[in-house]
């Protein structure tokens, strides 16, 4: 397995407004995080290009992006109706090449807080004043593919053990786009 993938730069682009039609379908404005990745290895790499999870700490200004399968623990009492892990979108980064991954990120996140009634409420917090971006990026020499008939646990285990994960904490630059 090649280990020549490096997160070279992270740039923030301002949010793009949604159309009236998108707003009518509850689509919210998203800001864009451009992640430049560089393959210094001798072989092409298959890199996960879709965000699997994110977190934002408004106190520190750190945005954490998981373009890898996060090993999050499900809070007690939460049951999923459907828990089938999807095959992540992937791009090929050729040997010696640099590619930019565009990651759309919400401009607002909902966070659980203690509340009345069932004991849980939500507050909306803006994702703004990003000072650092912590990226978790999964890649491999071969693409991750679905296997017909595998269980959710089998797919999740394969996802978590597929390839490698590179991490970097980067002070983002601004992009004019």
As a whole number of angstroms, the distance between CA 152 and CA 139 comes to: 21
Residue 164 pLDDT level (bands cut at 50, 70, 90): very high
Q: Which residues contact 19 (CB under 8 A, 6 or more apart)?
A: none
- CA 71 to mean position of chain CA atoms: 13
Note the pLDDT tens digit of each residue in 94-144: 999 999 999 999 898 877 777 777 677 778 889 999 999 999 999 999 999
pLDDT at 71: 66
* CA distance between the termini of the chain: 35
Q: Indicate the domain borders of the chain.
A: 5-174
Q: Which residues contact 102 (CB under 8 A, 6 or more apart)?
A: 32, 33, 34
As a whole number of angstroms, the distance between CA 73 and CA 79 comes to: 12
* Sheet architecture: strand order including 30-39: 98-106, 30-39, 5-16, 173-174
Note the pLDDT tens digit of each residue in 52-106: 888 899 999 999 999 998 765 555 655 555 567 788 999 999 999 999 999 999 8
Q: Report the mean per-residue pLDDT for the chain.
A: 86
DSSP string, the chain: ----EEEEEEEEEEEEPPPHHHHHTTPPPEEEEEEEEEE-SSS-EEEE-S--EEEEETTTTEEEEEES---PPPPTT---S---PPPPPEEEE-TT-EEEEEEEEESEEEEEE--STTT-EEEEEE-----EEEEEEEEESS-----TT--HHHHHHHHHHSSEEEEEEEPPEE---
pLDDT at 165 over 80: yes
């Amino acid at each position: 397995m090649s280990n020549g993938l490096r997160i070279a730069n992270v740039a923030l682009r301002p949010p793009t407004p949604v159309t009236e039609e998108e707003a009518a379908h509850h689509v919210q404005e998203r800001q864009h995080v451009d992640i430049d990745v560089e393959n210094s290895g001798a072989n092409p790499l298959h890199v996960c290009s879709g965000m699997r999870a994110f977190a934002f700490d408004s106190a520190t200004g750190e945005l954490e992006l998981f373009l890898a399968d996060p090993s999050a623990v499900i809070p007690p009492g939460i049951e999923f109706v459907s828990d089938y892990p999807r095959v992540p979108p992937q791009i090929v980064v050729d040997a010696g090449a640099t590619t930019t991954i565009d990651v759309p990120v919400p401009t607002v996140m909902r966070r659980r807080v203690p509340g009345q009634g069932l004991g849980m409420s939500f507050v909306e917090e803006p994702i703004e004043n990003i000072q650092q971006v912590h990226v978790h990026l999964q890649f491999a020499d071969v693409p991750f593919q679905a296997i017909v008939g595998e269980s959710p646990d089998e797919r999740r285990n394969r996802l978590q053990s597929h390839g490698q994960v590179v991490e970097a904490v980067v002070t983002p630059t601004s992009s004019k786009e």
